[in-house]
Amino acid sequence: RGDAAPRAGGGSISIVGLRKEFDGVVAVDGIDLEIEGGEFFTLLGPSGCGKTTTLRMLGGFEQPTDGQILIDGVDVAQSPPHKRPVNTVFQSYALFPHLDVQKNVAYGLRWRKDVDKQEKAVRVARALEMVRLSEYAERRPHQMSGGQQQRVALARALVLEPSVLLLDEPLGALDAKLRHSLRAELTALQREVGITFVFVTHDQEEALEMSNRLAVMDGGRIVQLGTPREVYQEPRTEFVADFLGVANLLDVECLPGGGATRTVRYGEFTLEAQAPDGAEDGARRAVIRPECVELDEAGRTGDNCLPGMVENAVFLGSTTQVKVRLPHDTVLQSVSTNRVGRDVFTTGQPVTVRLPREALRVLAPSAR
Ligand code: ATP
């Protein structure tokens, strides 16, 4: 299917000092971002963090208050949407009910006076093939499932052969099961066509599963940028840790000295933790993900071990979720894979809790 790619390599995007104010409300508060050609890049954050406004400025639907947007090195700030090498798929994909699928897709080419009728037909057929809807060309939208309609909307955007595709919560209108299967489909499509995708979502699972890299946004700013693994496993702030999954937090005292691995106090206990950003001394919070919390028989000793007690254990088939209480009133969640013959934890059982030093991270204070 490689030959179906509309263009080898997607467009690169360079965003410098991007800001948007609406009547005194700061929606986007100074974004600097480089997106490489061919990346599946996600803007992730809670409602109101500014991700849609950022996307709309990339698409040309919103004029920046300040800052620059360059696509393949060309400043597009003054170009209207249809003059940018960019296309957008919205959550409400608004297909025309009275037009069949191929006419809906051809509608994407309405501005392109330079593309003749024959070339239009070829492009429509190619776009439908990309989204695997060639056999549905003559159907009307109401004769198709939600997922198929979504793919028609994608084809309508792809038919223009953009070098960047913007997707604003494109799976948002679909039910949970369909969303799941479409995630893999959309990622595969992006790899195949090689277009740069900028994807907006508030769903952390979606972002982790689909993206090459992602930017976590809060209050109009990017608070962390990285690969899914980096952002999930190495969150810098409590906000990021919390937004991307279950974050176990401990109040610790960061002792002076040390490099990326620091000594911290948790009550009377001494632990080693990661503090890659050169954490300041003093009262801080540290985070550890549930799957990194190790439980062992009571009485074991070793580095980063604390005494604990099982508060409750829930068998979930492939995993068991255990809540364990540490001294000083901290409750941590842990999750372990169930294998036949493995330890079974019961409420009230004393255990040793090990917090591996590579997985325990001192956080920077959240920006707000
Ligand atoms: P959601 O997921 O709910 O769409 P979002 O992260 O995409 O949220 P934006 O839609 O970009 O956030 O909105 C960012 C901020 O800007 C919000 O406070 C919002 O109320 C405000 N805002 C967005 N568009 C407008 C507008 N046209 N006029 C006034 N304020 C706006």
Distances in Å between the alpha carbon of 257 and those of 68, 206, 262, 279, 280? 41, 39, 7, 10, 10
Residue of the nearest CA to atom 27 in ligand 1? Answer: 22
d(CA 286, CA 282): 12
94's CB contacts (< 8 A; 6+ apart) are 153
119 or 306, which is more confident = 306
Query: For ligand 1, what atom is nearest to the CA of residue 220?
Result: 14
Residue of the nearest CA to atom 16 in ligand 1? Answer: 27
Mean pLDDT, residues 279-302: 90
Among 196, 158, 165, 214, smallest CA distance to 11 is for 196
Mean pLDDT, residues 158-173: 87
Residue of the nearest CA to atom 18 in ligand 1? Answer: 48
* Backbone Cα Rg of the chain: 25
d(CA 105, CA 125): 9
d(CA 183, CA 209): 8
CB under 6 Å to ligand 1: residues? 22, 25, 27, 45, 47-53, 202
Residue of the nearest CA to atom 9 in ligand 1? Answer: 50
Residue of the nearest CA to atom 5 in ligand 1? Answer: 48
What is the per-residue DSSP string for 87-107? EEE-SS----TTS-HHHHHHH
d(CA 45, CA 24): 22
Query: For ligand 1, what atom is nearest to the CA of residue 56?
Result: 11
pLDDT at 140: 92
Query: For ligand 1, what atom is nearest to the CA of residue 49?
Result: 6
What is 2-233's CATH topology? Rossmann fold (3.40.50)
Q: Where along the chain do its domains lie?
A: 2-233, 238-362
User: How much of the chain, in percent, has pLDDT values that exceed 70?
Assistant: 95
Phi, psi of 91 (to 5 degrees): -60, -45
pLDDT at 367: 57
Among 241, 235, 244, 170, smallest CA distance to 207 is for 244
In which residue are the tokens 């919103």 written? 62
Q: What is the largest CA-CA distance in the chain?
A: 78
Residue of the nearest CA to atom 20 in ligand 1? Answer: 48
Mean pLDDT, residues 126-153: 88
Out of 79-83, 316-320, 356-360, the most confident range is 356-360
How many angstroms separate the alpha carbon of residue 324 from the centre of ligand 1? 40
Given a cut of 60, whether residue 2 has pLDDT beyond it is: no
The one-character DSSP state at 255 is P
Given a cut of 60, whether residue 8 has pLDDT beyond it is: no
d(CA 45, CA 224): 11
User: How much of the chain, in percent, has pLDDT values that exceed 90?
Assistant: 61
- State the ipTM, two decimals: 0.95
Distances in Å between the alpha carbon of 336 and those of 65, 212, 273, 314, 342? 49, 27, 22, 11, 10
Residue of the nearest CA to atom 7 in ligand 1? Answer: 52
What is 238-362's CATH topology? OB fold (Dihydrolipoamide Acetyltransferase, E2P) (2.40.50)
User: Structure pTM?
Assistant: 0.89
pLDDT at 271: 96
Mean pLDDT, residues 266-270: 95
How many angstroms separate the alpha carbon of residue 267 from the centre of ligand 1? 43
Q: How many other C-beta atoms can be found within 10 angstroms of the C-beta atom of residue 94?
A: 12
pLDDT at 6: 39
Given a cut of 50, whether residue 5 has pLDDT beyond it is: no
pLDDT at 169: 86
How many angstroms separate the alpha carbon of residue 48 from the centre of ligand 1? 5
Mean pLDDT, residues 308-334: 94
d(CA 91, CA 167): 8
* pLDDT, tens digit (0-9, with 9 covering 90-100), for 52-68: 999 999 999 999 999 99
Mean pLDDT, residues 325-343: 88
Given a cut of 80, whether residue 190 has pLDDT beyond it is: yes
Mean pLDDT, residues 149-173: 87
How many angstroms separate the alpha carbon of residue 27 from the centre of ligand 1? 6
Band of pLDDT at residue 94, cut at 50, 70 and 90: confident
pLDDT at 7: 41
Mean pLDDT, residues 179-194: 87
Q: Which residue type sits at 322?
A: V
How many angstroms separate the alpha carbon of residue 107 from the centre of ligand 1? 28
Query: For ligand 1, what atom is nearest to the CA of residue 52?
Result: 7
- Residue pair 345/313 in contact by the 8 Å Cβ criterion: yes
Counting ligand 1 atoms within 8 A of each CB, the residue from 29, 31, 51, 53 with the most, and so the one to mutate, is 53
How many angstroms separate the alpha carbon of residue 50 from the centre of ligand 1? 6
pLDDT at 203: 93
pLDDT at 92: 67
Q: Which of 81-95, 98-112, 238-252 has the lowest mean pLDDT?
A: 81-95
How many angstroms separate the alpha carbon of residue 54 from the centre of ligand 1? 10
pLDDT at 93: 66
Band of pLDDT at residue 160, cut at 50, 70 and 90: confident
Look over the chain and give the mean of its residue pLDDT values, rounded to a whole number: 89
Residue of the nearest CA to atom 31 in ligand 1? Answer: 22
- E strands present in the chain: 13-22, 25-35, 40-44, 66-71, 74-75, 86-89, 164-168, 196-201, 213-218, 221-226, 248-254, 261-266, 269-274, 282-288, 294-297, 305-315, 319-325, 331-337, 350-354, 361-362
Torsion on CA atoms 88, 94, 97, 98, rounded to nearest 10:
-50
- Residue pair 237/285 in contact by the 8 Å Cβ criterion: no
How many angstroms separate the alpha carbon of residue 25 from the centre of ligand 1? 9
How many angstroms separate the alpha carbon of residue 51 from the centre of ligand 1? 8
Query: For ligand 1, what atom is nearest to the CA of residue 200?
Result: 7
Query: For ligand 1, what atom is nearest to the CA of residue 20?
Result: 16
